């Protein structure tokens, strides 16, 4: 028997064993249809069985399809059984709380997780419907749960789904109470998942307890408490949840806080797992907020806000000031970068007297560090991901604010110990309304920060490629690390392996951080140039910085070979 023939037989036998154990008639039929086309379907089958989805610190995430290399009821059953077994082995007592978004399969995956938990004798609390991820993170703390599961793929394409795990105080400690897992928990849960036997032997119990809307009311009440009472509230906001689950909770929070009800993009207001009006359901993708800015124009909005589909991220779009020097008279719209929103939120909290630790990540702008240094406030910098941000400083100083440049902000760590796009939206609205009452805008506040700390211009080189190309590019930059950026000698060159697949390069005025994305098949390079403002001429400093960043973009792309 040839090696190829043996390989094909082995592939077909593995597929048949999976099919026999799959608890979902729909995915069994899907896989059987692929098997019926065998051996012509061997490449597709090999992809589905290339290996299991790996449970990492972001949990599981992958395409909805039958087989171990996809998100389906069999994979979720195995993951839930492994998680519950791990919780028991750790001595964790108490309920498992489970949330889900409106993606295809999310509710079924959440309900199966609850059945696996109750089948193992553990109480399961199921959120009352498709809700934002921050509500699940809040519920873990609110109900003293041992852990939480959120079924979501956040802003991934429509064909994906995912499975994120949060720990309660028992196993996560005070810093990790209601936060996403960190090593070694991810590897231990992965090992427990692999130890699960036949799925037919996994006991399934009752559906668990369905929580009522008092949970959402509790979340909204605490969200509203994030902003100061009695401040200006005259602000017209245009809003889109991008076909996700944020609209009802965000509008409730805005109205309870005393703001006018935001105007919603009509054909993006209701959850739709197909995300029909956008190429990718991510506010940062080109064209994703076109309908939002059109609505903002027609309604005369002061501010436009978008959440991603599970509402843990927040995008802010502002009216551009007229610029006669550039020949631009009509007011257009510009989405603020995550670093700009992060600086605005941090500055706002500092001005409100919020003392404590301010934190961001290694890929974010250096502006927050400069602000904290000038204002004598504690600062910390972590690896990417909110699982690290909320644990910044090791607990020596209470965290009061954390952000990452990918539109994630935590303005109330005691409320939600994760990124929260709804409380971030409320806080930016509070700032914008206060500035409007003074006849100013968010753009004016950004200019004030630039005048004080210099223009911090950030950009990103992001390439959607396969894992092999990513590995080659990272190997290339390590083998031939540049000794200068923009003609300036490096003053820092760091490789964070083995702790993280990250390379950091810095000169006197430029900084580059290169890493693979943790959630998508992308290679990312984070770019920053800092230019001082001379004689109050902010426009010239911005122009110099933008020109330099464009040059840096080309320079880094050439070094990476992408």
Tokens, residue 88: 């028991």
CB 481 within 8 A of CB 493: yes
Helix (H) or strand (E) holding 382: strand 379-382
For the chain, give the number of residues: 562
Distance separating alpha carbons of residues 295 and 291, to the nearest angstrom:
6
Tokens, residue 182: 């960190």
Tokens, residue 239: 């809003």
Distance separating alpha carbons of residues 327 and 69, to the nearest angstrom:
53
Tokens, residue 346: 């941090």
- Helix, strand or coil, per DSSP, at residue 514: strand
Give the Å distances, CA to CA, from 16 to 12, 19, 517, 536.
6, 5, 34, 71
- 323 secondary structure, DSSP code: B
Helix (H) or strand (E) holding 235: none
Distance separating alpha carbons of residues 338 and 134, to the nearest angstrom:
18
Helix (H) or strand (E) holding 495: strand 492-495
What are φ and ψ of residue 532, in 5° steps?
-70, 155
Catalytic residue from among 2, 27, 106, 154: 154
Sign of CA dihedral 318, 323, 326, 328: positive
154 as an active site residue: the answer is yes
Residues marked as catalytic: 154
């Amino acid at each position: 028997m040839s090696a190829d023939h043996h390989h094909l037989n082995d592939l077909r036998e593995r597929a048949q064993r999976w099919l026999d154990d799959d608890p979902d008639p729909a995915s069994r039929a899907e896989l059987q249809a692929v098997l019926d086309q065998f051996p012509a379907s061997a490449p597709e089958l090999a992809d589905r069985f290339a290996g299991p989805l790996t449970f990492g610190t972001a949990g599981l995430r992958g395409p909805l399809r039958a087989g171990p290399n996809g998100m389906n009821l069999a994979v979720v059953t195995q993951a839930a059984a492994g998680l519950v077994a791990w919780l028991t082995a750790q001595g964790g007592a108490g309920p498992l709380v489970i949330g889900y978004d409106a993606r295809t399969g999310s509710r079924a995956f959440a309900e199966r997780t609850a059945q696996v938990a109750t089948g193992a004798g553990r109480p399961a609390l199921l959120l009352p419907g498709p809700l934002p991820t921050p509500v699940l993170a809040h519920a873990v703390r609110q109900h003293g749960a041992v852990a939480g599961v959120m079924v979501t793929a956040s802003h991934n394409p429509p064909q994906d789904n995912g499975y994120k795990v949060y720990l309660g105080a028992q196993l996560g400690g005070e810093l990790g109470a209601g936060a996403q897992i960190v090593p070694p928990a991810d590897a231990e849960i992965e090992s427990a998942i692999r130890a699960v036997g036949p799925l037919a032997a996994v006991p399934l119990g009752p559906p668990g307890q369905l929580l009522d809307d008092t949970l959402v009311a509790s979340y909204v009440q605490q969200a509203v408490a994030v902003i100061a009472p009695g401040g200006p509230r005259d602000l017209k906001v245009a809003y889109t949840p991008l076909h996700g689950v944020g609209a009802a909770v965000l509008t409730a929070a805005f109205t309870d806080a005393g703001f006018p009800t935001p105007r919603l993009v009509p054909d993006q207001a209701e959850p739709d797992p197909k995300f029909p009006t956008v190429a990718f359901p991510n506010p940062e993708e080109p064209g994703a907020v076109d309908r939002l800015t059109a609505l903002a124009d027609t309604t005369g909005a002061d501010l436009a806000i978008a959440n991603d589909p599970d509402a843990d991220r927040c995008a802010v779009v502002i009216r551009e000031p007229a610029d006669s020097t550039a020949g631009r008279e009509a007011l257009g719209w510009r989405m603020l970068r995550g670093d700009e929103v992060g600086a605005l939120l941090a500055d706002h909290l500092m001005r409100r007297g919020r003392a404590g630790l301010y934190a961001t990540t290694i890929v974010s702008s250096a502006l927050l560090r400069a602000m904290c240094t000038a204002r004598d406030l504690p600062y910390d910098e972590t690896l990417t991901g909110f699982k690290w941000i909320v644990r910044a400083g090791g607990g020596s100083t209470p965290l009061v604010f954390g952000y990452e440049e990918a539109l994630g902000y935590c303005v109330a760590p005691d409320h939600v110990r994760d990124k929260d796009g709804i409380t971030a939206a409320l806080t930016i609205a509070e700032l914008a309304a206060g500035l409007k009452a003074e006849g100013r805008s968010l753009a004016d506040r950004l200019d004030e920060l630039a005048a004080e700390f210099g223009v911090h211009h950030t950009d990103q080189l992001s390439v959607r490629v396969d894992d092999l190309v990513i590995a080659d590019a990272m190997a290339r930059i390590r083998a031939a690390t540049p000794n200068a950026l923009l003609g300036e000698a490096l003053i820092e060159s760091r490789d964070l392996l083995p702790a993280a697949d990250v390379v950091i390069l810095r000169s006197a005025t430029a900084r580059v951080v290169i890493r693979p994305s943790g959630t998508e098949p992308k290679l990312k390079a984070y770019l920053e140039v800092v230019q001082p403002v001379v004689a109050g001429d902010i426009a010239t400093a911005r122009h110099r910085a933008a020109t330099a960043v464009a040059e840096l973009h080309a320079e880094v792309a050439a070094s990476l070979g992408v």
